[in-house]
Amino acid sequence: MSIYGYIRVSSKEQNEDRQLIAMRNAQVPEKSIFLDKQSGKDFERPMYKKMVRRLKKDDLVYIKSIDRLGRNYQEVVEQWQYLTRVKQVDIVVIEMPLLDTRRGKDLVGTFLSDIVLQVLSFVAENERTNIRSRQKEGIEAAKARGVVFGRPPKELPDNFAQIYKRWKAGELKSHEAAKLCGVSRSTFYTKVKDYELQLEMG
């Protein structure tokens, strides 16, 4: 039997130290710890795939919490069943002692483990959905208060009116006019529309 540990953080900026400490406390060999710095939205992760390829029957896999395995409820359940039933390995979720497939190998034990897994996976994904919803509501509320997101619009030169007239008269090509304004051609066209609208409104 070989022992493995799987660690996942969502980005390169996040720190994996807490998960590493948990693996060491579980006496997982350093060489058998696989780390992905990637989103948990699916299982297209290089180190996870590499670990799964190595797994043999009766091996043991440690993860710190169920959301480190993944964040998609359906895929987490499917992957759990693949590991335990197809690869025939055991999984231990360090922060959730009920999710330890070494316990209760009978039908009832397996059933209880699957139920707990499904509930926890659902809760993890539901919380992720709620976070996205709260972020969206916060952004919409901020916009309603007049908060502007993104880069501030680039100021046009004081002589934009003259550049516009020369461009309109055909003395300047669009890329030349844009260069004189210090903006891209697409931004120049946008500014032209805004300027012409202002002229129409008087």
Q: Are 90 and 60 in contact (CB under 8 A)?
A: yes
Q: Could you tell me how many residues make up the chain?
A: 202
Q: Are 5 and 68 in contact (CB under 8 A)?
A: no
As a whole number of angstroms, the distance between CA 189 and CA 177 comes to: 10
Structure-block tokens of residue 55? 């797994």
As a whole number of angstroms, the distance between CA 93 and CA 95 comes to: 6
Residue tagged active-site, from 10, 32, 65, 121: 10
Confirm whether 184 is a catalytic residue.
no
Complete edge-to-edge strand list for the sheet that includes strand 3-9: 33-37, 3-9, 60-63, 90-93
Write out the H or E segment, with its range, that includes residue 194. Answer: helix 185-201
Q: Helical H runs in 41-184?
A: 46-54, 66-69, 73-81, 107-144, 160-168, 174-181
List residues with catalytic annotation.
10
